């Protein structure tokens, strides 16, 4: 593969990851989502940032396999690095959650995603593609159906598992409940993003400019169709009225909110509300429905295609700061969680967002250009994770 093409692919994918990191900053420390000022950024990032971040995890898994497009993965890959990596991420996520930085820490969920995705990496590309497509509907539907069987119709149980939850069998059950169904980023509704990313990484050979263009076009079309279908079902076909009637019967306290639908969704965390089938038709942030999943996956696909196209042309220089941040996304995420657990606890403003974003971009640039001594290098936490997993530093890249 030509070096320039490889670099463009890595810069483009890392730039999307950098955008996802900034999107998570916007949700965590930005102003309230509103159609004005910086609130537009929060509206754009709300729900989509963690989804794109998760989709990129699957996409990067496919790139790491380094297989011909459409081919079978190499057999016999050792499981030890995967187990160690997942264990480290899980412990790190639990530790950050125990500090209570005021955000819903995703790292423990990521550990589970990697473990659950491993069998799927061994599937042929056609089978994997079919499974990934089916999961975008099956995962949310299972969440909708299983919730009432576990004794609740609206979640709100546990946002993020904490170390204290592991000290008893009942606590372990709560952890499993949170990781699989009712937590902030549960497996049932977030593994589809990993599988879609894995399938896209297999299907889309980004060495070809035409492939990147198709990713941008098809991703945009899927996102528009999914969000458009949800808007039509809720706002035109009577979905909102039926859901308001259900809310009046089952959750009357939510009617006092400016948007009762968002009020209910804000309490349910990872599980799809099961009080009405009409909940499956919405695509609001964190609604975890099939239409939201398709829309978010489409956004991720479009961003990858667009950023790879820009990285192959005049936009490469503009993407470098974002790519630098994306190449050390784990370090940036951990650093921002630590800051939020301390001096910046509870920060929510346009100024806080600007400070966090500026510090992250400058810090990433400084690390890679000065400390690491090479462009697109790994960050400090990435280095430590690589050492724990393989016992040696790895090459830069995705």
pLDDT, tens digit, for every residue of 145-169?
A: 988 777 666 544 556 666 656 555 5
**Given a cut of 90, is residue 314 above it in pLDDT?**
no
CA distance 174 to 16: 34
In this structure, of 25-39, 282-296, 366-380, the range with the lowest mean pLDDT score is: 366-380
How much is the pLDDT for 175?
80
pLDDT bin (cut points 50, 70, 90) of residue 70 is very low
Question: What digits encode the pLDDT tens for the residues 239-287?
Answer: 999 999 999 988 888 888 888 898 888 777 778 888 899 999 999 999 9
**Given a cut of 70, is residue 291 above it in pLDDT?**
yes
**pTM for this entry:** 0.91
**Given a cut of 50, is residue 398 above it in pLDDT?**
no
Task: Evaluate whether 354 touches 303 at the Cβ level (below 8 Å).
Answer: no
How much is the pLDDT for 66?
56
């Amino acid at each position: 593969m030509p070096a320039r093409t490889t670099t463009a692919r890595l810069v483009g994918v890392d730039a999307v990851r950098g955008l996802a990191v900034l999107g998570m900053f916007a949700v965590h420390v930005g102003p309230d989502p509103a159609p004005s000022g910086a609130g537009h950024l929060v509206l754009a990032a709300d729900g989509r940032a963690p989804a794109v971040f998760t989709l990129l995890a699957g996409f990067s898994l496919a790139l790491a396999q380094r297989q011909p497009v459409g081919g079978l993965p190499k057999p016999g890959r050792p499981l030890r690095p995967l187990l160690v990596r997942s264990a480290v991420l899980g412990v790190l996520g639990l530790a950050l959650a125990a500090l209570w930085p005021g955000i819903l820490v995703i790292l423990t969920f990521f550990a589970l995603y990697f473990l659950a995705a491993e069998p799927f990496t061994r599937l042929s590309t056609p089978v994997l593609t079919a499974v990934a497509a089916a999961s975008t509907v099956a995962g949310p539907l299972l969440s909708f159906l299983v919730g009432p069987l576990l004794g609740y119709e609206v979640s709100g149980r546990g946002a993020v598992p904490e170390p204290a939850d592991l000290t008893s069998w009942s606590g372990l059950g709560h952890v499993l409940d949170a990781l699989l169904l009712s937590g902030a980023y549960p497996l049932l509704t977030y593994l589809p993003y990993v599988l879609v990313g894995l399938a896209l990484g297999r299907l889309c050979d980004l060495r070809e400019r035409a492939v990147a263009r198709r990713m941008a076009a098809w991703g945009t079309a899927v996102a528009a169709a999914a969000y458009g279908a949800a808007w039509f079902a809720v706002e035109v076909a009577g979905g909102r009225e039926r859901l308001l009637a259900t809310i009046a019967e089952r959750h009357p306290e939510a009617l006092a909110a400016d948007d009762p639908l968002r009020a209910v969704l804000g309490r349910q965390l990872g599980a799809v509300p099961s009080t009405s089938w009409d909940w499956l038709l919405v695509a609001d942030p964190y609604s975890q429905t099939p239409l939201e999943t398709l829309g978010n996956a489409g956004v991720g696909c479009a961003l990858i295609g667009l950023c790879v196209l820009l990285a192959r042309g005049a936009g490469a220089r503009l993407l470098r700061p974002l790519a630098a941040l994306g190449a050390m996304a784990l370090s940036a995420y951990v650093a921002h969680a630590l800051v939020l657990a301390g001096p910046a606890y509870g920060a929510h403003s346009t100024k806080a967002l600007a400070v966090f974003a500026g510090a992250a971009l400058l810090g990433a640039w400084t690390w890679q250009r000065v400390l690491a001594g090479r462009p697109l290098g790994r960050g400090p936490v990435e280095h430590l994770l690589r050492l724990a997993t393989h016992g040696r530093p790895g090459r830069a890249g995705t």
